[in-house]
A and B are shown apart, each in its own frame.
Chain A
Amino acid sequence: MQTYVARRLLLMIPTLMGLSMIVFVMLRIVPGDVVALIAGDYGAVSPEIKEAMLADFGLDKNIPIQYVHWLGKIASADLGTSLISGRSVTSELSNRLPVTLELGILAMIVSASLAIPIGIISAVRQNTAADYVGRSIAIGFLAAPNFWLAILLITLASRYFTWGVPPTTYVGFLDDPIANLKLMTVPALLLGTGLAGSVMRYTRSTILEVMRQDYVRTAYAKGLENRVVIVRHVLRNALMPVVTVIGLQLPVVIGGTIIIESVYSIPGMGRYYISSINSLDFPVIQAINVVVALFTVFSILLVDLLYSVLNPRIRYS
Chain B
Amino acid sequence: MATGTDIQAAFALRADQHFLQRIPRSIWRFVRHYPLGALGAAFIILLLAMTVLPDLFTNQDPSFQVIRDRHNPPSGAHWFGTDRLGRDMYTRIVFGARTSIVVGFGVVVVSSVLSTILGVVSGYTGGWFDTIFQRLIDIGISLPGLIFIILFITAFQGMPGGVLYPIIISVAILISIRLSRVIRAGVIAVKEEQYVDAAYALGAGNIRIMAQHIFPNVFALVLVSASIEVGGAILIESALSFLGYGIPPPTASWGRMLNEAREELTRSPHIAIFPGLAIFMTVYSFNMLGDAVRDKLDPRLRGSK
A residues whose Cβ falls under 8 Å from a Cβ of B: 11, 14-16, 18-19, 22-23, 26-27, 29-31, 139-140, 142-145, 147-149, 151-152, 154-155, 158-159, 208, 212, 251-252, 254-256, 258-259, 262-263, 273-274, 277, 285, 288-289, 292-293, 296-297, 300
Contacts and interface: CB of A to CB of B under 8 A. Distances in A.
11 contacts: A14-B135, A19-B143, A26-B151, A31-B158, A142-B231, A143-B281, A145-B276, A151-B261, A254-B147, A256-B146, A259-B146
B238 A145 contact: yes
Contacts of A297: 142
Contacts of B146: 255-256, 258-259
B144 A251 contact: yes
A18 B231 contact: no
B258 interface: yes
B266 interface: yes
Nearest to B145: A255
Contact of B258 (A148, A158, A274, A296): A148
The 9 closest A-B pairs by CB, nearest first: A148-B276, A255-B146, A255-B145, A292-B144, A143-B283, A18-B139, A143-B284, A293-B142, A155-B265
B59 to A, nearest CB: 28
Interface in B244-272: 255, 258, 261-262, 265-266, 269, 272
B280 A277 contact: no
B64 interface: no
B147 A255 contact: yes
B243 A262 contact: yes
B235 interface: yes
Nearest to A135: B291
A258 B276 contact: no
Given A208-B304, A274-B150, 7 more contacts: A15-B139, A143-B231, A145-B255, A149-B276, A259-B242, A259-B243, A293-B143
A69 B127 CA distance: 35
B47 to A, nearest CB: 14
Interface in B147-165: 147-148, 150-152, 154-158
A144 B281 CA distance: 8
B239 interface: yes
A18 B132 CA distance: 13
A26 B151 CA distance: 8
A211 to B, nearest CB: 10
Contact of B144 (A149, A152, A293): A293
A281 to B, nearest CB: 12
B158 A259 contact: no
B147 A288 contact: yes
Contacts of B167: none
Nearest to A258: B146
Contacts of B157: 31
B276 A289 contact: no
B281 to A, nearest CB: 8
B113 to A, nearest CB: 21
B243 A258 contact: yes
- Of B138, B147, B156, B284, chain A has the most CB atoms within 10 Å of the CB of B147
Interface in B190-234: 231
B165 to A, nearest CB: 14
B141 interface: yes
A4 to B, nearest CB: 16
B150 A140 contact: no
B151 A285 contact: yes
A181 B143 CA distance: 30
A11 B151 contact: no
Contacts of B141: 296, 300
A149 B150 CA distance: 22
B94 interface: no
B274 to A, nearest CB: 11
A33 to B, nearest CB: 13
A14 B273 CA distance: 47
Contact of B156 (A29, A152, A256): A29
B294 to A, nearest CB: 10
A152 B261 CA distance: 10
Contacts of A140: 280, 284
B45 interface: no
B242 A147 contact: yes
B154 A19 contact: no
B78 to A, nearest CB: 20
A19 B142 contact: yes
B51 to A, nearest CB: 19
B99 interface: no
Nearest to B294: A205
Contact of A289 (B144, B243, B266): B144
B136 interface: yes
B179 to A, nearest CB: 15
Contacts of A143: 231, 235, 279-281, 283-284, 287
